[in-house]
């Protein structure tokens, strides 16, 4: 019963994420499974960017085109990170239900599996040697560091074209640090 409640909590979290772009859930798309309910990730990100235009108070189309291109990159990277975190939280429940890792939760959510996370989990599940676990952990940390650096670079690029008010709006919305 406790496991069922945990799984329902994770599914609720994933649905809450999907509701951040309400039209995305209705459009379908994606590779199937629960991910299809969330819609195509690129379409979902574009809808989030379009929805932010009003709160950023951008009326000039030329200005918006510059901001939108950079904002889209940030939204995509943040979305990928959020969905990957949800997949990691779902993975133990899927393993208990016979789904294992191997991208099971990621596939269910319609995202690319995190190979470094899968390799680390496999080393743990297979009771790998200390050296195997250390190597998988180092690769996982390096992959995570690279993703964080890519996001920071995209956020810095976006900040270059924002007013202070726009930057504050995106910080408050969680898109910028």
Whether 115 maps to a domain, the answer reads yes
Domains contained in the chain, number: 1
pLDDT value, residue 101: 47
Q: Are 176 and 154 in contact (CB under 8 A)?
A: no
Whether 13 maps to a domain, the answer reads yes
Whether 144 maps to a domain, the answer reads yes
pTM given for the model: 0.66
pLDDT, average across residues 54-83: 91
Whether 145 maps to a domain, the answer reads yes
* Mutual angle of helices 61-96 and 2-18, in 10-degree steps: 170
Whether 113 maps to a domain, the answer reads yes
Q: Which residue has better confidence, 97 or 46?
A: 46
Whether 73 maps to a domain, the answer reads yes
pLDDT value, residue 107: 59
Q: What is the 3-state secondary structure (H, E, C) of the chain?
A: CHHHHHHHHHHHHHHHHHCCCHHHHHHCCCCCHHHHHHCCHHHHHHHHHHHHHHHCCCCCHHHHHHHHHHHHHHHHHHHHHHHHHHHHHHHHHHHHCCCCCCCHHHHHHCCCCCHHHHHHHHHHHCCCCHHHHHHHHHHHHHHHHHHHHHHHHHHHHHHCCCCHHHHHHHHHCCCCC
Q: Are 137 and 120 in contact (CB under 8 A)?
A: yes
- In angstroms, the Cα distances linking 163 to 44, 132, 173 are 25, 48, 15
pLDDT digits (tens, 9 = 90+) for 100-155: 544 566 556 666 778 898 899 899 999 999 999 999 999 999 999 999 999 999 99
Whether 153 maps to a domain, the answer reads yes
Q: What count of other Cβ atoms lies within 10 Å of the Cβ of residue 174? A: 9
Whether 177 maps to a domain, the answer reads no
Residues of the domain holding 30: 2-172
């Amino acid at each position: 019963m406790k496991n069922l409640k945990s799984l329902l909590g994770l599914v609720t979290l994933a649905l809450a994420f999907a509701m951040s772009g309400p039209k995305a859930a209705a459009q379908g798309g994606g590779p199937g499974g629960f991910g299809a309910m969330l819609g195509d990730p690129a379409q979902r990100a574009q809808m989030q960017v379009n929805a932010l235009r009003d709160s950023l108070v951008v009326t000039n189309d030329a200005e918006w085109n510059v901001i939108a291109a950079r904002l889209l990159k940030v939204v995509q990277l943040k979305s990928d990170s959020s969905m990957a975190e949800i997949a990691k939280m779902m993975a133990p429940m899927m393993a208990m239900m016979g789904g294992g890792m191997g991208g099971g939760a990621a596939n269910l959510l319609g995202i690319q599996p995190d190979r470094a996370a899968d390799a680390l989990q496999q080393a743990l599940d297979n009771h790998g040697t200390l050296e195997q676990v250390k190597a998988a952990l180092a690769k996982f940390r390096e992959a995570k560091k690279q993703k964080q650096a890519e996001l920071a670079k995209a956020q810095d690029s976006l900040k270059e074209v924002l007013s202070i008010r726009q930057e504050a709006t995106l910080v408050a919305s969680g898109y910028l640090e």
